[in-house]
């Protein structure tokens, strides 16, 4: 064991307790600022222990935290994380309260344990470890901890633009990727884009008795027909021009993706699906996952859904819909095409109540930071990580990677397929969490010493 490993092992219990304390804050960005502020203040105090001034960066939305920690080397790294979390519903499916962290069977259960508070704490504890072992940092670190990632990072572009001079670095370590079902580490170099909208139809002033449905129009019927018009039976998006800017995978992409195990049978057991959309062969599953944009209905709300019956003709109906977009698709362009589609198909009364837009992003795999992460992971884990040219999910990478020109890498963190991100009983394995601290320490040491 290295001196850093010994320090981490000696402080293992305290590190886990600190993670649990961070997970106790109900920092749900879309449910008000109270929990966000308390979590931000706790993190600000924790960052302040390193002796540097901690700043709050805001642009009209939830605040981000920024701190620069100078080091002796010439290189610098931007560390991106977020401290906001998803809502906890349905609450009844949690085995323990989501903001009362509980340890069971070697795992910590809490909302945010995996996404993304384990990354936040692992990186703070990696800094503590480096300073304790070496007395100094081998490079300059710039922490950026966002407070509205789970609500679409609505003001993040402006925060980055307004603070470009502070945020530029020789590379950016993003929030972490995960292990696959077989325990192989994974590394990502980008993300898909996102257009998320809330649609609403209002046809009456108030709900009516259902016997009047022979006279009055139905908001749910109109909304359901509008939603059904967006995709065909094969789930291919039916919006005119939707695929205009889609770029297919090239041979380099396919070579990289060939190293990713699709884990078909493991996924079938864990998730419980009968068949995949389009039934792709195993060697095309990852390509379809990454390079096929989607239209997904997240939820529909209308009328009465309580116990027993209530005969009602709802006056209004809403739906939440998301589109995952591949590199070169622009969410603003897709939103405009969606509006034209609805209007041209007789759905002018379907309104956009609000929308979240994030552009897709890709960074080069062979950047110096990229090579550093891949080499370090192979050394630590005893096997080369699976390389994802970009992830299937979405994050606000575009302002950093394309806006500032800073290459991004998402190294392996504490997540696994059964970590239940965005679901009840979110968790991390404690051994994985401790290993993620060791990994960040090694990456920073190697990158700081490299030429």
pLDDT in tens, the chain (451 residues): 899 999 999 999 999 999 999 999 999 988 877 789 999 999 999 999 997 789 999 999 999 999 999 999 999 999 999 999 999 999 999 999 999 999 999 999 999 999 999 999 999 999 999 999 999 999 999 999 999 999 889 999 999 999 999 999 999 999 999 999 899 999 999 999 999 999 999 999 999 999 999 999 999 999 999 999 999 999 999 999 999 999 999 999 999 999 999 988 888 888 898 889 999 999 999 999 999 999 999 999 999 999 999 999 999 999 999 999 999 999 999 999 999 999 999 999 999 999 999 999 999 999 999 999 999 999 999 999 999 999 999 999 999 999 999 999 999 999 999 999 999 999 999 999 999 999 999 999 999 998 6
CATH of the domain at 51: 3.40.630.10
Structure tokens at 388: 């994802």
- Of 358, 379, 404, the one marking the end of a domain is 358
Claim to verify: residue 202 and residue 336 sit in the same structural domain: yes
Residue 39 included in any domain:
yes
Residue 263 included in any domain:
no
Claim to verify: residue 185 and residue 217 sit in the same structural domain: no
Claim to verify: residue 151 and residue 203 sit in the same structural domain: no
Claim to verify: residue 336 and residue 431 sit in the same structural domain: no
Q: How far lies 56's CA from each of 44, 60, 104, 144, 372, in Å?
A: 9, 12, 35, 10, 30
Count of residues in the chain: 451
- Of 311, 341, 358, the one marking the end of a domain is 358
Residue 264 included in any domain:
no
- Of 342, 358, 374, the one marking the end of a domain is 358
CB atoms within 10 A of CB 18: 16
Nearest residue to 427 (alpha-carbon basis) of 102, 153, 18: 102
Claim to verify: residue 50 and residue 137 sit in the same structural domain: yes
Claim to verify: residue 170 and residue 211 sit in the same structural domain: no
Residue 262 included in any domain:
no
Number of domains in the chain: 2
Q: Do 284 and 276 meet the contact criterion of CB atoms below 8 Å apart? A: no
Claim to verify: residue 176 and residue 106 sit in the same structural domain: yes
Claim to verify: residue 233 and residue 315 sit in the same structural domain: yes
Strand, coil or helix: 219: helix
Question: Exposed/middle/buried for 45, CB within 10 Å: 0-12, 13-18, 19+?
Answer: exposed
Claim to verify: residue 43 and residue 163 sit in the same structural domain: yes
Claim to verify: residue 316 and residue 365 sit in the same structural domain: no
Claim to verify: residue 183 and residue 79 sit in the same structural domain: yes
Residue 60 included in any domain:
yes
Q: List the domain range (segments joined by +) for residue 435.
A: 3-191+360-449
Residue 265 included in any domain:
no
- Catalytic residue numbers read 84, 149
| 275-281, long-range: CB < 8 A, 24+ apart | 277/234, 277/235, 278/234, 278/235
Name the CA dihedral angle for 420, 121, 62, 85, rounded to a multiple of 10 degrees: 10
CATH of the domain at 316: 3.30.70.360
Helices 117-134 & 34-48 angle (0-180, nearest 10) = 10
Claim to verify: residue 113 and residue 68 sit in the same structural domain: yes
Residue 37 included in any domain:
yes
Residue 254 included in any domain:
no
């Amino acid at each position: 064991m290295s001196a850093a490993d010994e320090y981490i092992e000696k402080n293992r219990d305290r590190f886990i307790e600190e993670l649990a304390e961070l997970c106790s804050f109900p920092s749900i960005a879309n449910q008000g600022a109270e929990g966000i502020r308390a979590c931000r203040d706790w993190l600000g105090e924790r960052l302040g222990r390193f002796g540097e001034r901690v700043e709050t960066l805001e642009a009209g939305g939830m605040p981000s935290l920024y701190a620069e920690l100078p080091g002796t080397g010439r290189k610098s790294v931007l560390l991106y994380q977020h401290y906001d979390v998803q809502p906890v519903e349905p609450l009844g499916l949690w085995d323990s309260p989501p903001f009362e962290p509980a340890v069971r069977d070697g795992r910590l259960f809490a909302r945010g344990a995996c996404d993304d508070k384990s990354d936040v704490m692992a990186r703070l504890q990696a800094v503590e470890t480096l300073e304790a072992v070496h007395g100094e940092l081998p490079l300059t670190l710039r922490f950026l901890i966002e407070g509205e990632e789970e609500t679409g990072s609505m003001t993040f572009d402006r925060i980055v633009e307004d603070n470009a001079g502070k945020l530029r670095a020789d590379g950016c370590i993003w929030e972490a990727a995960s292990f696959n079902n077989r325990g192989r580490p994974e590394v990502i170099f980008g993300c898909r884009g996102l257009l998320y909208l809330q649609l609403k139809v209002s046809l009456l002033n108030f709900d009516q008795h259902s016997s009047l449905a022979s006279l009055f129009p139905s908001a749910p019927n109109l909304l359901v027909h509008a939603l059904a018009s967006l995709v065909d039976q094969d789930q291919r998006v039916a919006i005119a021009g939707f695929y205009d800017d889609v770029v297919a995978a090239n041979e380099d992409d396919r070579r990289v993706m060939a190293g990713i195990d699709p884990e078909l049978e493991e996924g079938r057991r864990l998730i419980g699906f009968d068949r995949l959309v389009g039934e792709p062969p195993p060697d095309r599953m990852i390509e379809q996952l990454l390079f096929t944009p989607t239209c997904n209905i997240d939820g529909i709300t209308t009328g009465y859904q309580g116990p027993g019956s209530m005969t009602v003709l709802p006056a209004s109906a809403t739906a939440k819909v998301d589109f995952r977009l591949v590199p070169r698709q622009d969410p603003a362009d897709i939103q405009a095409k969606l509006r034209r589609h609805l209007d041209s198909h007789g759905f002018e009364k379907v309104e956009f109540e609000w929308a979240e837009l994030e552009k897709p992003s890709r960074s080069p795999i062979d950047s110096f930071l990229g090579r550093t992460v891949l080499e370090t992971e192979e050394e630590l884990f005893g096997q080369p990580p699976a390389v994802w040219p970009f992830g299937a999910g979405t994050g606000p990478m575009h302002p950093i990677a394309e806006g500032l020109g800073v290459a991004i890498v998402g190294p392996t963190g504490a997540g696994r397929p059964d970590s239940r991100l965005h679901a009840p009983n979110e968790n991390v394995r404690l051994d994985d969490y401790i290993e993620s601290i060791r990994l960040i320490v090694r990456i920073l040491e190697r990158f700081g010493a490299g030429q």
